[in-house]
Chains A and B, each alone.
Chain A
Amino acid sequence: MRVRGATILAPVALLALAACTNEARTLGPSLPQTAPAGNADPRVPAYQANLYQVAQGGRYFMWYGCSGCHDDSARGAANLSDGRWRRGGGFADVYRAIARHRPAPAYEATVPVEQLWQLTAYVRDLPAHHPEKRRRVTLDQEGEPQGSQWSGPQ
């Protein structure tokens, strides 16, 4: 057992060094209370590189009705998964494009700050998503109050 342990521990140690924090889940009070200070804001990786935060952004993307226009068949600027960003692809750039959305509404008036962070992380992650996976996720979330189906607080 001891010898086998050593052969196994080596790759494990390597893995641990490269420890993936992208699975981390912090449930608690929201961290950011303000908009990102720039594309290099130190708070960005906690959202952009975290699978849970990105997935939460995906839920809000439907709750707030974003998916109404920005679906898979959207063209031009409305297509968010083609990797081209009309107003810049940095975190703060995309955040601003959502917060001061044109055409109206400007979502900073209705969406809490942390959810805007999560939405931004999701939108910037979209080019990496497979369409069939996105459709599958949408199917599971169909029962949630989203876009025009929302009927007020429960």
Chain B
Amino acid sequence: MKPDPSLLEQLDRTWRDPPGLWGFLTTVDHKRIAARYIVTALLLMFLAGMLALDMRWQLSVPENTRMTPQLFNESFSLHGSTMLFLVSVPLMEAMAFWLVPLMLGARNMAFPRLGAFSFWLYFGGVLTLWVAHAIDITPDLGWFEYPPLSGPAYSPGHRADIWAQMITFTEVAALAASVNVAATILKMRPPGMTLARMPVFLWAMLIASIMTMFSMPAVMLVTSMLIADRLVSTQFFSVAAGGDAVLFQHLFWFFGHPEVYIIFVPATGFVSSIVETFSRRVLYGHSVLVLAILSIGALAFGLWVHHMFAVGLPRLGNDFYTAASMAIAVPAGLQIFCWLATIGTGRTWFPTPMLWILGFVATFVIGGLSGVMTASAALDLQLTDTYFIVAHLHYVLIGGAIFPLFGAFCYWYPKATGRLMSERWGKVAFVLIVGGFNLGFFPMHLLGLEGMPRRVYTYPAHMGWDMLNQIATAGSAIAVTGGLVFAANALCSYWRGKPSGADPWGGSTLEWATASPPPAYNIPFTPRVDSLTPMWNGGAPLPALDGIAIDTREVLVSSVTDAQPLYRQKSAGPSIWPLVAALAVSAMFIASIFTPWAIPIGALPIGAALTGWFWPNRPRAKIGALEAAP
């Protein structure tokens, strides 16, 4: 279907943002919001990466004096908290924000203003942690701050509060984002895209969002309990008063383990999209992949205790969690073999995004194998709190999530910017990052087996750890260099890259149907879908559904399983209220570090902001069920 230029002009008038600063502050365009998320998170990844390099410098020789123990504590706490809460999870959400409506052929997310609110609140969390760091109130107890160490007796001041409150910020933002993604995927699919014809990417994002909804409340609850213990002297974690310090660990890891998969599952979505496109065939075992992701999502909630084997829980309990942890290797293995089968049987070519997938498979499998080792309660008692764990967690998080993310970045970069990244520099960055990473982290397995504990700021000379530490430091320096090459490539290509056109890779899913970069209204018409790979229809134009308004913001709502069109829904336009509401919530969160009165008093501006947000913008009904009483 060839759209008429006057139609495009009208759509653009309807969907574009107001110009200038006001447009910047009020936008509800999912692409702009997602781009902000991604830029902020990538900047933070750079900063936290610099912290890592600094720590590697400190550890490169025994008894180094680059860092004091306190500075080392602050560095790894800031590094871990930033990477887990402010980089990995938000980046995955941002990719969903950017891609889900495009892949659905929809004009925006289901709740456009909630998306804007989510970003502003996330940004509040970023500022909370990093402004506090700038004025030397850096959390210093690691990325999980167990009481009693983080309780009122052993953590005077506000370092632990900053950490706990940063989590509240990011988790509210994550919940807002997840609800939005799940509602969009379930209710805004184009006609014909039944659940059975939904791309694996959308399944992955849907499942990760639902996991977020189930797991994040646990960590918000537990950090709120910690703040209450510290601020108003409640006794949740005070053993002497009948509280339970282990409760913190249970609630934290009930979130913390699913979180690992909330980061990994979207990555499986990236991998599936990239593998399908570059293998030139429909994914091998589509249903197996979807079911594997589903079972990872379910199993993820049943194995949090493997983070707590050394706590001293009952033996039988530990055995159960050992079994559950090892079981997750089955769906993860199925996924890997489905991808390999697709690659092996397709007409595969290997540009940069595909190289990242190979890097992912190799690295993630090593991380998975060390995961099976640490899943054994008996072996874990030896390995826990050593560098073996540091190696394992970086192999699964960087290898399992960040490599696919880099691949996804290269794959969808032309869609976002309209330009191709340099293949040559992309390959250089790939070799440096994957090589440097493996050189940097593989020796840590050995260091851990040799007994080097994690979170130590230095070590004596005669331990025999010098050489491996130096290799690790060299490896991380190489990987960071590769990261800089990657960033430089992305920046230069933004202005100088070759124009890509709408569909440079011959992609299989709907986001490639629209222009690059996509216009404010995403796609001129609502497509109709009749296969898993709607773009691979032999070059015929996509069938389209008409009837959605173009002079006002309107989206199509469809049924959950069959994607039958149900009704047309008004879609919210630009508004300043999400920002105002986020500011009010931020003020309340920050003030509640200092006084409990912040909660009742701070609720008033939040109420006012939400009232403004939900102020009715159409006259009262004169007829029908909602008819106004005279």
Interface size on B, residues (CB 8 A): 32
Verify B136–A137 contact, CB threshold 8 A: no
Number of A-B contacts (CB under 8 A): 76
Which of A48-56, A68-76, A85-93, A107-115 is found at the contact surface with chain B?
A48-56
Interface membership of B238, Cβ < 8 A: yes
Chain B residues with Cβ under 8 A from A51's Cβ? 156-157
Say if the beta carbon of B554 comes within 8 Å of chain A: no
Q: Is B159 an interface residue (CB 8 A)?
A: yes
Q: Is the beta-carbon distance between A133 and B152 smaller than 8 angstroms? A: yes
Interface window among A15-23, A34-42, A94-102: A15-23
Q: Which of B106-114, B127-135, B210-218, B620-628 lies at the interface?
A: B127-135
B153 CB within 8 Å of chain A: yes
Question: Cβ of A54 and Cβ of B152 under 8 Å apart?
Answer: no
Residue B385 lies at the interface, judged by CB distance under 8 Å to chain A: no
Partner of A135, one of B68, B154, B233: B233
Q: Which B residues are CB-close (under 8 A) to A137? A: 152-153
Closest CB in chain B relative to A81 CB, distance in Å: 16
- B235-264: contact bitstring with A at CB < 8 Å (1 yes, 0 no)? 100111100000000000000000000000
- Complex CA distance for A65 and B159, rounded to whole angstroms: 29
A12 touches B152 (CB 8 A): no
Contacting pair B135 A28 (CB below 8 A): no
Q: Tell me, in angstroms, the Cα distance from A112 to B564 when the chains sit together.
A: 79
List of A residues within 8 angstroms of B617 by Cβ: none
CB distance from B595 to the nearest CB of A (A): 12
**Also in contact, A27 and B156, with CB within 8 A (given A1-B39, A139-B238):** no
Q: Which of B131-160 contact A (CB under 8 A)?
A: 131, 134-137, 140, 147-148, 151-154, 156-159
Asked if A25 and B233 sit within 8 Å, CB to CB, the answer is no
Instruction: Name the distance in Å between A15's Cβ and chain B's nearest Cβ.
Output: 6
Known: A27-B69, A51-B157. A132 touches B233 (CB 8 A): yes
Docked Cα-Cα span, A21 to B134, in Å, equals 12
Pairwise interchain contact B131-A52, C-beta atoms closer than 8 A? no
Known: A20-B135, A21-B136, A142-B240. A28 touches B68 (CB 8 A): yes
A1 in contact with B135 given A22-B157, A51-B156, A140-B151 (CB within 8 Å): no
Asked whether any CB of chain B lies closer than 8 Å to the CB of A152, the reply is no
A24 at the binding interface (Cβ < 8 Å): yes
Contacts of B68 in A (CB 8 A): 26-28
Contacts of B17 in A (CB 8 A): none
For the complex, is B36 an interface residue (Cβ under 8 Å from A)? yes
Tell me the B78-130 residues at the A interface (CB within 8 Å): 127
Query: In the complex, A141→B152 CA distance in Å?
Result: 10
Interfacial chain A residues near B136, Cβ < 8 Å: 19-21, 23-24
Most A CB within 10 A of own CB, among B151, B233, B239, B241: B233
Q: A10: CB under 8 A from chain B?
A: no
* Closest residue of A by beta carbon distance from B234: A136
Q: Which residues from chain B contact A26 at a C-beta distance below 8 Å?
A: 68, 70
Q: Are B70 and A25 in contact, CB atoms less than 8 angstroms apart?
A: yes
Q: How far is the CA of A72 from the CA of B12 in the complex (A)?
A: 71
Task: Evaluate whether A1 and B240 lie within 8 angstroms (CB atoms) in the complex, with A20-B135, A140-B154 already known.
Answer: no
Residues of A contacting B21 in the complex (Cβ-Cβ under 8 angstroms): 3
Q: Given the complex, which residues of B lie within 8 Å of A4, measured CB to CB?
A: 24-25
Asked if B319 is an interface residue, CB under 8 A from chain A, the answer is: no
A10 to B40, CA, bound (A): 20
* CB-contact partner of A15 in B24, B131, B148, B152, under 8 A: B131
Mark out the residues of chain B between 60 and 80 whose CB falls within 8 Å of any chain A CB in the assembled complex. 68-70
Check B157 against A27 for contact (C-beta < 8 Å): no
In whole angstroms, what is the CA distance A31 to B196 when docked?
Answer: 70
Asked if B229 is an interface residue, CB under 8 A from chain A, the answer is yes
Which residues of chain B come closer than 8 Å to A103, judged between CB atoms? none
Nearest Cβ distance between residue A132 and chain B, in whole angstroms? 5
**A136 with B156: CB separation less than 8 A:** no
Within the assembled complex, what's the spacing in Å between the Cα atoms of A22 and B151?
Answer: 18
Assembled-state Cα–Cα distance A145/B379 (Å): 33
Question: Among B36, B69, B154, B157, which residue has its beta carbon within 8 angstroms of that of A1?
Answer: B36
In the complex, the chain B residue whose C-beta lies closest to that of A19 is B135
Closest CB in chain B relative to A98 CB, distance in Å: 21
Q: CB of A153 within 8 A of chain B? A: no
- The proximity string for A residues 127-154 relative to B, scoring 1 for CB distances below 8 Å and 0 otherwise, is 0001011011111111100000000000
- Provide the residues of chain B in CB contact with A12, threshold 8 Å: 131, 134
Interface centre among B21, B135, B147, B154 (most CB of A within 10 A): B135
CA A137 – CA B152 in complex, angstroms?
6
Bound-state CA distance A135–B233 (Å) is: 8
Cβ contact within 8 Å between A140 and B135: no
Which A residues are in CB contact (< 8 Å) with B153? 55, 58-59, 136-141
* B493-529 interface (Cβ within 8 A of A): none
User: Are B70 and A23 in contact (CB-based, < 8 A)?
Assistant: no
Q: State whether A136 and B240 are in contact (beta carbons under 8 Å apart), knowing that A1-B39, A27-B68 are contacts in the complex.
A: no
Chain A residues contacting B233 (CB-CB under 8 Å) are 130, 132-133, 135-136
Docked-complex contact B148 and A140, CB < 8 angstroms: yes
- When distances are taken between beta carbons in the complex, the residues of chain A under 8 Å from B158 are 23
Closest Cβ of chain B to A101, distance in Å, is: 25
Question: Is A8 in contact with chain B by the CB < 8 A criterion?
Answer: yes
Residues of A within 8 A of B159 (CB): 23
In the complex, what residue of chain A is closest to B241 when comparing beta carbons? A139
Within the complex, what minimum Cβ distance (angstroms) separates B593 from chain A?
13
Query: Are B135 and A15 closer than 8 Å at their CB atoms?
Result: yes
Contact A25 B140 (CB under 8 A): yes
Taken together as a complex, chains A and B put the C-alpha atoms of A56 and B570 apart, in Å, by 60
CB of A110, distance to nearest CB on chain B (Å): 23
Closest to B158 in A: A23
29 pairs, CB–CB < 8 Å, chain A vs chain B: A1-B39, A4-B24, A12-B131, A12-B134, A16-B135, A20-B135, A20-B136, A22-B157, A23-B137, A23-B158, A24-B136, A26-B68, A27-B70, A51-B157, A52-B156, A52-B157, A55-B153, A55-B156, A133-B152, A135-B233, A136-B229, A136-B233, A138-B153, A139-B235, A139-B241, A140-B147, A140-B148, A140-B153, A140-B238
Interface residues of B (CB under 8 A from A): 21, 24-25, 36, 39, 68-70, 127, 131, 134-137, 140, 147-148, 151-154, 156-159, 229, 233, 235, 238-241
Task: Report which A residues bind B (CB closer than 8 A).
Answer: 1, 3-4, 8, 12, 15-16, 19-28, 51-52, 54-55, 58-59, 130, 132-133, 135-143
20 more contacts with CB within 8 A, not counting A4-B25, A138-B153, A140-B151, are: A3-B24, A8-B127, A15-B135, A16-B134, A19-B135, A22-B157, A23-B136, A23-B137, A24-B136, A130-B233, A135-B233, A136-B152, A136-B233, A136-B238, A137-B152, A139-B235, A139-B240, A140-B154, A140-B238, A140-B240
Q: Which 6 A-B pairs have the closest CB atoms?
A: A140-B153, A136-B233, A55-B156, A142-B240, A51-B156, A51-B157
